[in-house]
Chains A and B, each alone.
Chain A
Amino acid sequence: MTETRIAALVGLGILLALPFITPAYFLHLLIQILLWGFIYTAWSMMGRFGLVSLGHGAFMGIGAYVPALLWNYFDVTPWLGIPLGIVLSALLGFIIGYPCFRLKVVGHYFALVTLALSQVVLLSIVAARDITGGSLGMTPRSIGHSWYALQFPDKGYFYAIALVVWLIGLAVWRWIDRGIGREALEAVSDDEDAAAAIGIDVTREKLRVTIISAALTALGGAVFGQYLMYLNPETVSGIGVSLQIVFAAIAGGMYAMLGPSVGALLTIALTEGLRVWFGANFVGAANTIYGILLILFVVFMPRGILGWVEAARRPRGRAIAST
């Protein structure tokens, strides 16, 4: 345990020192890795319990668009807009989750319902093109460096924000992992009926992680919007985003705390590497490779890289759940 703690402190120290020694380009990559790592972690909070959502684009979209719209049209500070987006997203998670879990919409049916949800949000954003800019996207009104508007031309600020947000994600993960809820949810994902029979409130347990996951994803979307200062329905809510989340979480390993973050590191390193290697001529090269890798991971290594490392380190450890 102390070993892990020391490793964690050293890792945190490195993360804190990085912005002072890396050039702006790498800082940009690091911010993206942290933010995506956070969103992937949020997704995995559901995914690890068999709740595979293809609808996280919906939560990300709400998280990103609500504060931006409030800021542009009503001068509402993101300090209010972001919490509102998070609340709305959590509410949507509840509205979609409650009937799903009550009526036992599980597995690939759950994935299809959430896929429809992300389409609803995506198309609503496009349909409201008079205020959201539709498919062309929108830009939050820029007023330069401002705490009030959460706009910082200097990337260092966003690095700090992304780091805090990412650590929040890990803390929440740990909180769920340590709580009684994890045992319950693991039982539920193994056998829902048996879990219900021993007195687990299946709906409540699932709903809890869904709402947490939706809320955190909205926060991730919001910070992304503030950082990039550009929102596009396709890049925050499209089916591509949902699959990207799934891919990275699976590749990194959605059963380990740092797995999704490893997934983020991997995908962004690969994207950037290919971009530098091939140049901009090969649009789609990275995603082509992701597609193949996703198939390979699902078929051969469904527990992801970290899951595989852990299993290799503990050859006779805990039995690995099937499916």
Chain B
Amino acid sequence: MKIQVIKESVSKFLEKDYDVLDLFYKMPGDYEFTKKEWDDFHLVPDYLLKYQNELFLAFVIVEIEEKEKILEYIKKYSSFLPFKVFFVKDDEIFEVDTETFSKKYLDKIKIISDSATKTGSWFSPKKSQDGTWLKNREFGKRGEEEVIKYLNLMKIQAIDLNFNSPDDERSGIQDWRKFNKMPDGIAKKDDEVYFFDAKAKRSEKWVVNERDYKKYQAKMEFLPVKIYFVYLTYDGKKIRKLFVHNVNMNEHEILFMGHDKNKVVDLSEEVEEIG
């Protein structure tokens, strides 16, 4: 948990110089993970930083021994965006040269206490607590797999932003407000770098929850966002069709769906069939 607190603190620190988008895992509750569970986490950059028109992907490390896997990762994805690495030791922060791994002292850093990062009360909507959520999650995972398959077929390189955390397989997440739901990944096609997110569907409805759409729009400050609508057979085993929508600031029709009149954005006029 300590590393989460450090990452939160570094995020605050970097806000002095950059626009910061946190990509790192935020534990949505008071959970204890085993070492194996921590080891199973995917390596994901911790931040997307913007300085004027320049973008950077960034990692924060607390053990210099972590450099090997970070360097390997940077080498693999260096064509996407330039990388930055920050090293925190005690109450000092350094920027690490990604070529030589030499450290440059930046400043003292104030580590936010663990208790300050807690929200005080849990927020766990009822619908996240029954088994339906897990089934939907599985169906959603199938959509993600099909999008990755499509990107591979198109030779589009992608950075996976899914953490592979134990939250993927639990219902009744204690605090949804802390759950840092990022798009599924960052893709690079020719010179275009963009966020992508898969929406798995059983029927042809090009709609996205209004709250989610606003979150996508907010991310456009950093990178364009594409939503892939994946239409699967009812059992989720096979793909039927694939559409893409480029998130934008246009005015969209709002619809009220389902028994709970969920507010959704209708994107049916702005989708492109791609597979």
Question: Is B truly associated with A?
Answer: no
Question: Which A residues fall within an 8 A CB radius of B?
Answer: none
